[in-house]
Amino acid sequence: MGKSKAADLLRQRGLPVVDSDVIARAVVEPGQPALTEIEQWFGKTCIGDDGRLRRDELARRVFSDEEARRKLEEILHPRIRAVWQAQLQTWRNEDRAIAVAVIPLLFETGARDEFDATICVACSPVTQRKRLGARGWSDEQIEQRIAAQMPVEKKMTLADYVVWTEGGIEVQEWQLERIAG
């Protein structure tokens, strides 16, 4: 959809940004309790010879099995939420006027009420599929990931603001400028 680029643009404006995708990668590093719990629930096939999470194998399992995806979310979401909540509290304590949390599943996880305002970064389904395909994902993988989330149209109606990422970067910058001031 373009949320990473939007986060980069906000950082360039000097706004503090915490990204739950970055946190999600950190909480499954070797030695982290979440990785141990994933191995216990999903088996050793999800852990590589180097002791790191095999994201491809785990994704194959959880995006084809709703119960497995829910279990993974039970393992990861509370840990991820605790990290971004702590970071936001630090910024509140520093009296920051604006801070940004990038949370792809904001509405799905019920986190919306923790924020003064929300921005949905969105694009057309054709562009979304093109961008996901550029990551090397198959059509089946793309459809599984899209199906696992709330439809973007619904997210757009729930958000306070929408940044439409079909245009050039200048258009996205302009939209973010109008929102963030």
Tell me the domain boundaries of the chain: 1-16+100-181, 20-95
pLDDT reported for residue 145? 85
Q: How far apart are CA 95 and CA 150, in angstroms?
A: 33
Percent of the chain scoring above 90 in pLDDT: 80
Residue 45 has pLDDT above 80, yes or no: yes
Do 1-16+100-181 and 20-95 come out as alike in CATH topology?
Answer: yes
Fold of 20-95: Rossmann fold (3.40.50)
**How do residues 84-102 score in pLDDT, each as one tens digit?**
999 999 999 999 999 999 9
> Can you give the pTM of this predicted structure?
0.88
pLDDT reported for residue 141? 87
Q: Own/partner pairs for 45-50, CB < 8 Å, 24+ apart?
A: none
Three-state SS sequence of the chain: CCHHHHHHHHHHCCCCEEEHHHHHHHCCCCCCHHHHHHHHHHCHHHECCCCCECHHHHHHHHCCCHHHHHHHHHHHHHHHHHHHHHHHHHHHHCCCCCCEEECCCCCCCCCHHHCCCCEEEECCHHHHHHHHHCCCCCHHHHHHHHHCCCCHHHHHHHCCEEEECCCCHHHHHHHHHHHHC
**How do residues 138-163 score in pLDDT, each as one tens digit?**
898 899 888 888 899 999 999 999 99
CATH of 1-16+100-181, one of 3.40.50.300, 2.60.40.1180, 1.10.3720.10, 3.40.50.2300: 3.40.50.300
**How do residues 115-144 score in pLDDT, each as one tens digit?**
999 999 999 989 989 988 998 888 988 998
